[in-house]
Amino acid sequence: MMRSLFSAVSGLRTHQTRMDVIGNNIANVNTPGYKSSRVTFQEVFSQTIRGAGSPSGTSMTERGGTNPMQVGLGVSIASIDTIHTPGNLQPTSRPTDLAIEGNGFFVVRDGGGYTYTRVGNFSIDGDGILVDSEGRKVMGWVAGQNGTLPTNKTAGNLSPLPIRIGTYMDARATTQMEWIKNLDAEAEVGFVKTASVTVYDSQGKTYSIQVDFEKTGTNTWTWQAYLPDGSTAGPGTITFNTEGRFVDVDVAEFSFTPLGADTVTVTMDFSKLTQVAGDTSVESGSTDGWPGGTLESYSVDANGVISGFYSNGRNQVLGQIAIAGFANPAGLIKTGNNLYIESNNSGEADIGPAGMSGRGTIAPSALEMSNVDLAEEFTQMIITQRGFQANSRVITVSDELLQELVNLKR
């Protein structure tokens, strides 16, 4: 039999495999997060008819060297590579649709182990847990009751992410507040300015505390608070320097005991007050108390931090989505359903927050589209078709040569 027959058969097989890969790419042209593949060929081993000969010398009467004579025996698949270039982003209106801009994969729990995906078409299940389209739980780090995320974000402390609409946030009594803006340096001694601050008790009840600021001398003012129980707090003396900067206050606290709730003790910060010529505009700044409320909505930022928005006007961190990076993403093994698992050549998953250590950022309300280039696929399809036809013709011609050999007997 002729070697060309077997070479051409190997060519048919490899081109058929290449066509299979092209067909799969085109079939997934609209699959979110799909990464296209390519096939590369390599020559199989060659039969050596004559080995190489070394030169016998450099004089004109001696022979030079000869090259080896080899006949190739066909072609085989060198590799089928997954191309992990990013796809374009498709905006959606769903807050749980997420896309990764850059490198990395979402981490989902499939049974007892982790799998990885680029597709962020997530949703909230009946238990209020963030899951993918087939119920696999999206992994990340859950914030504590005060909205604090773990400082050590590693694979060892991953957990499913709860986002439960209607979750209650406990009321918190006010303990700290600040006064801001200005007290007029040109005001007459005895001038009084009234301001107010809203505070909350341990049950979330609201109280408006009136505070009077009275100028008592050069660079000195006093404050006095009128409390809900009819008592007063203060007076406290506020001192400024010659440049109108706050220097000191001798009393900076008031307290009262609401009916049925814990005693409210508030420490006031006067350091942001000034005393310069101009309108007296003193007012309360930030405070740390709030009434109770329920979770109404949420959002995800570029670092994967999930923030909840409550009916009491507060927002609090609920958790953070984990992103896995790999030294060699092309070494991951596809398991179907847009999922990947580690292989011996992918490297171990480097799990951490988005936007750090080479991991990409997260685009909320968007999905990553397939990275299949139809123009490239159609071009490769034509090249593959011609290669298949050429190998078929080799088989046809080899058959005709064998038929001529058989006909020699006639």
pLDDT in tens, 15-46: 999 999 999 999 999 999 999 999 999 998 88
| Beta-strand relationship, 293-300 and 168-169 | antiparallel
pLDDT > 90? residue 408: no
Q: Which residues contact 135 (CB under 8 A, 6 or more apart)?
A: 125
pLDDT in tens, 133-145: 999 999 999 998 8
Question: What is the predicted pLDDT for the residue at 410?
Answer: 64
d(CA 188, CA 191): 6
Cis preceding linkage at 329, omega within 30: no
pLDDT in tens, 289-347: 999 999 999 999 999 999 999 999 899 999 999 999 999 999 999 998 999 999 999 99
Give the CA count within 13 Å in the CB-facing half-sphere of 87. Answer: 25
Domain range annotation of the chain:
3-49+69-84+371-407, 91-162+319-367, 176-287
Q: CA geometry: angle at 337 spanning 361 and 320, to 5°?
A: 30
Higher pLDDT, 289 or 66: 289
d(CA 153, CA 171): 29
Looking at domain 176-287, which of 3.30.930.10, 3.40.50.300, 3.50.7.10, 2.60.98.20 is its CATH number?
2.60.98.20
Residue with tokens 């670092």: 303
pTM given for the model:
0.81
Mean pLDDT of 147-176: 92
